[in-house]
A and B are shown apart, each in its own frame.
Chain A
């Protein structure tokens, strides 16, 4: 009773725990008002030093290595380029500064540290690969905006029926088929609402159907991810490696080097088995790993059908989008050797804009231009690695290490390149990993007598094996945004998927690619 009577004496706000003013530390400072304090504090950020600690470390390490004695066999410019690559890698991994800032630093570094003319550096930034990345991102926005997702989903369930296994298989296959041609992130962004529709129409409580959600959403992302390497237009990494082959090995006066001008269909011939062999296994792996709570989605499917019926028949803009995209795919397959992948992609994007299927404002806000800049600078740095002889020197040094370790066979070389790429691509975006690693691996292959074409494929394909974290893959980041998945889910399925993919890659590189290379 005492407590009750005393209760009236106390005012919680006054007598109990205090709400300290955020300004309390500044009472000594003379000031006319809180606003002025806010203005002052907005200009002072001591925590920034701590936030940028890895940037500072990178700069110190970088400049120390640059001023160190140049190793024998390497030019000073080569040393600078190698150190710049190391610094870029450190910044990619630690994300100490926004990633596009790394791209800008690479540009500034090339001019100031290597003494290259700024116009030459600017010219090296814009290649067909960069145009392609830019164009396909613009196409992506146009396609996503058309909202064809539910229709695609209904088309899938018409074929697969309502069993969870077959629906997931259908989703993986269709996402894969789409992601072979469009960027994998496009398909993930487009199909995510379908996945969430199926999940939310099954149950309102995410906790009750967590495993089902994982299976459906991972079907989307793995479908996109395993197919991203199938064709050159599947992802930025493919365009980057094609661009390196041409820059490093193509010599117009030597017909033997014409094979390094990779065309759309030849790439597909090489990479398609990686998709086809993994496709049937992915769904099984997902079902066994997560064991969904229910096995039949008939309730969700019938609701989905109702929703599509209510939307009415597909609009002309939808059909037009599909037709234009079909033309773009044909253009890539037929004209890419002549006019380049980038020109076709840009032409497609322009067509969408001219036909009014997408607004420039949508493209402007939907495309992350920083990534375009990042790839441009990374490719430009890769070219400098070749020009200064840095790639060759580093590759020769690494090869000596591999020879000392007794890893001279093609299988050992492929396995080592693959594992290196997997490790790096789990720590940074796949495109950046390919841009940084490829010059070294391609040169290693050339130095040691292995086929640079196969080494390039191993690198490009292995860079898609970053399955362990939500940030490792573009498609993963997008499905993670749905909020249904936890980071540990990615590790759980990702570790198995990495092992499976590595095994399939080794099989393909041992048995299939040598047959093609002979031709």
Chain B
């Protein structure tokens, strides 16, 4: 072996590379075969609502619910030189739970009220260090005999929105559910400093449901503008509605009379698509008016308003805005932003 061998770039052999890829693709394939819902909670009633929606959407055996509480990492620099983790360690030594543990336990009670009782299920706990925090990340996984999984995860992250998005990276999810925040920022302000729900709703790679107190209402109010992206969203949202036993209403708004035929055509196309899939449409409407106001007003009678995300970047949103985000913000019922 010459000295140069130390500097030679080496690679995994094709066989080893294939093994890595196989392990990886097996894991991904398994996850792809599940409908995974990430419900994010913060101990508030809005967080409970997120868990209730997760329970009601996870009706079939291939559904998993992951309940996540992200705890901001203990900051040391403001504590005058003493690491806050010393205080945290002191609390843990004294036998106290971390703040989020209580919220996660409460979420289990909420699930039980919704008919998902994990008390008889197999459970496994995993813990890993994160960000040098005294508590780190903790995960408790419950698995039923028929393969359904409920995971409680207490995660530590420098900021909460970043923690939720990091969690997405760990295993893709079909849907992220968050409770309604106490306030929203304008599109301009959110470019500089958005709240947690707004950040996640804006940049999450998957569909996001912002849950409001609309569990007593019925039906999915699916909005479409006739674009292919929108039709895809209609199709996928209608499947979800059908599986959980909700009726479907299709809706399109034309900003003026000239655009009305296009709106009617959009609704007709969507209806035809769903008919081909054998999904019943309870009602199909095309109206003329202010698009946002019509969606918010008429949709408020339904359990969920479904809007299609335009897929705009944050800078594009700054100039063009986003009807989907505006609907999520202004609606009085839960809104599903489909990606």
- Across the interface, do B77 and A189 meet the contact criterion of CB distance under 8 Å? no
A184 to B78, CA, bound (A): 12
User: Across the interface, do B338 and A17 meet the contact criterion of CB distance under 8 Å?
Assistant: yes
Give how many A residues have a beta carbon under 8 Å from the other chain's beta carbons.
66
A12 touches B94 (CB 8 A): no
Partner of A366, one of B28, B60, B83: B83
Q: Does A7 contact B242, Cβ atoms closer than 8 Å?
A: yes
Whether the pair B81, A34 counts as a contact (CB closer than 8 A) is no
**Residue B20, interface by CB 8 Å:** yes
8 A Cβ contacts from B1-43 to A:
17, 20-21, 24, 28, 31-36
Partner of A3 from B36, B87, B280 at Cβ < 8 Å? B280
> Binary interface profile of A, 401-445, with partner B (CB < 8 Å = 1, else 0)?
000000000000000000000000000011100000000000000
24 A-B residue pairings within 8 Å (CB atoms) = A12-B243, A15-B235, A17-B236, A19-B206, A22-B169, A22-B205, A35-B24, A137-B82, A140-B82, A144-B86, A147-B93, A183-B82, A185-B80, A186-B82, A188-B87, A193-B91, A193-B96, A200-B96, A365-B83, A370-B76, A371-B80, A474-B80, A477-B84, A482-B99
Q: Which residues of B contact A185 (CB under 8 A)?
A: 79-82
Which residue numbers of A lie inside 8 Å of B, CB to CB?
2-4, 6-7, 9-13, 15-22, 24, 32-35, 98-99, 133, 137, 140-141, 144, 147, 149, 183-186, 188-190, 192-193, 196-197, 200, 206, 235-236, 365-368, 370-372, 429-431, 471-472, 474, 477-478, 481-484
User: Which B residues touch A13, using CB under 8 A?
Assistant: 32-36, 62, 174
Residues of chain B within 8 A of A188, CB atoms compared: 87
Q: Are B82 and A368 in contact (CB under 8 A)?
A: yes
Contact check, B93 vs A22: say whether CB atoms are below 8 A apart: no
- B88-A368 in contact (CB<8A): no
Residue of B76, B81, B96 with most chain A CB atoms under a 10 A cut-off: B81
Instruction: List 9 A-B pairs, minimum CB-CB distance, nearest first.
Output: A483-B99, A474-B80, A371-B81, A19-B172, A12-B35, A189-B87, A193-B94, A185-B82, A471-B78
Instruction: List the B residue with the shortest CB-CB distance to A372.
Output: B81
In contact, A12 and B96 (Cβ under 8 angstroms) = no
B264 within 8 A of A: no
B125 at the interface (CB under 8 A from A): no
Contact A478 B236 (CB under 8 A): no
| B74 interface contact, C-beta 8 A | yes
B155 at the interface (CB under 8 A from A): no
Q: How far is the CA of A141 from the CA of B81 in the complex (A)?
A: 11
Contact between A20 and B35 (Cβ–Cβ < 8 Å)?
Answer: no
Contact of B245 with A by CB under 8 A: yes
Contact between chains at B279 and A6 (CB < 8 Å)? yes
Is B54 interfacial (CB 8 A cutoff)?
no
B142 within 8 A of A: no
The residue on A at minimum CB distance from B172 is A19
> Which parts of B205-253 form the interface with A (CB within 8 Å)?
205-207, 235-237, 239-240, 242-243, 245, 247
Shortest beta-carbon distance from A503 to chain B in Å: 25
When distances are taken between beta carbons in the complex, the residues of chain A under 8 Å from B174 are 12-13, 16-19
Measured in the bound complex, the distance between the Cα atoms of B207 and A384 in whole Å is 56
B123 part of interface (Cβ distance < 8 Å): no
Could you tell me the distance in whole angstroms from the C-beta of B334 to the nearest C-beta in chain A?
Answer: 14
- B207 shortest CB reach to chain A, Å: 4
| B36-A19 in contact (CB<8A) | yes
Inside 8 A of B84's CB, which chain A residues have their CB?
477-478, 481
Contacts A19-B172, A193-B91; A133 near B81 (Cβ below 8 A): yes
B20 touches A33 (CB 8 A): yes
Taking CB atoms, residues of chain B closer than 8 Å to A18 are 174, 206-207, 236, 339
Structural contact, A474 and B62, CB atoms closer than 8 A: no
In the complex, which residues 325-339 of chain B have their Cβ closer than 8 Å to any Cβ of chain A? Answer: 338-339
Distance A137 CA – B36 CA, assembled complex (angstroms): 47
Complex Cα distance, B24 from A483, in Å, reads 38
User: Which residue of chain B has the shortest Cβ distance to A184 in the bound complex?
Assistant: B80
Name the A residues within 8 Å of B242 (CB-CB): 3, 6-7, 10
Known: A13-B33, A33-B17. Is A371-B77 also a contact (CB below 8 A)?
Answer: yes
**Shortest CB distance A204–B (Å):** 9
Cα distance A52–B146 in the bound complex, in angstroms: 49
State in angstroms the CA–CA spacing of A512 and B239 once bound together: 77
Q: Which B residues, 126 to 147, have Cβ-Cβ distances below 8 Å to chain A?
A: none
